[in-house]
């Protein structure tokens, strides 16, 4: 992004206008701290009137908590009380069921599988999908 908005790459820094273009492109121009007019000066650690990549990286590395709030807001991550409120699951979620279908190829007549083998296979499949054997239906 830095290179995309740096209209004069030979000077090694972003001007205030280039910085403003960058925050607009990123969609963060209306978020704090980016919307504050003085933030450019805060980032410009050496007071040169331009932002180097190192100045931007150094600031964000040192202020991750402050910047994370803006990132969370942009991503729609709830904050405050909303971050800890859970809605009651809908009836569809409460009544949700899943099913697993599987096939066993038998090289002989189906009747050659003894009833005990069918019960063991049913129990093995039930254990594989973490349900009780009674919940597995073999047809």
What is the residue-wise DSSP string for the chain? Answer: -HHHH-S-GGGSSB-HHHHHHHHHHHT-TTSTTTTSTTHHHHH-TT-SSSB-HHHHHHHHHHTHHHHHHHHHHHHT---GGGGG--PPPPHHHHT-----------SS-GGGS-HHHHHHHHHHHHHHTTS-GGG----
Domain stop point among 60, 84, 108: 84
What is the CATH number for 73?
1.10.238
What is the token pair recorded at 128? 């594989």
Q: Are residues 34 and 74 in the same domain?
A: yes
17-43 pLDDT per residue, tens: 998 888 888 777 777 777 787 889 999
Q: Does residue 30 belong to any structural domain of this protein?
A: yes
- What's residue 84's pLDDT? 56
Q: Are residues 11 and 79 in the same domain?
A: yes
- Whole-number percent of the chain with pLDDT over 90: 12
Q: Which residues pair with 14 in a beta bridge?
A: 51
Q: Are residues 117 and 73 in the same domain?
A: no
> Residue 104's domain spans which residues?
94-135
User: What's the whole-model pTM score?
Assistant: 0.49
């Amino acid at each position: 992004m830095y290179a995309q908005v740096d209209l004069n790459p030979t000077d090694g820094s972003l001007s205030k206008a280039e910085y403003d273009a960058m925050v607009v492109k990123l969609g963060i121009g209306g978020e704090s701290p980016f919307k504050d007019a003085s933030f450019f000066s805060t980032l410009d650690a050496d007071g040169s009137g331009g932002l180097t990549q190192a100045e931007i990286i150094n600031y964000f590395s040192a202020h991750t908590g402050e910047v994370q709030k803006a990132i969370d807001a942009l991503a729609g991550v709830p904050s405050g009380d909303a971050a800890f409120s859970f809605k009651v699951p809908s009836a569809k979620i409460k009544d949700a069921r899943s099913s697993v279908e599987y096939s066993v190829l038998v090289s002989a007549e189906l009747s050659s599988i003894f009833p005990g083998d069918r019960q063991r296979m049913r129990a093995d499949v039930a254990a594989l999908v973490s349900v009780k054997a009674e919940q597995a239906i073999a047809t």
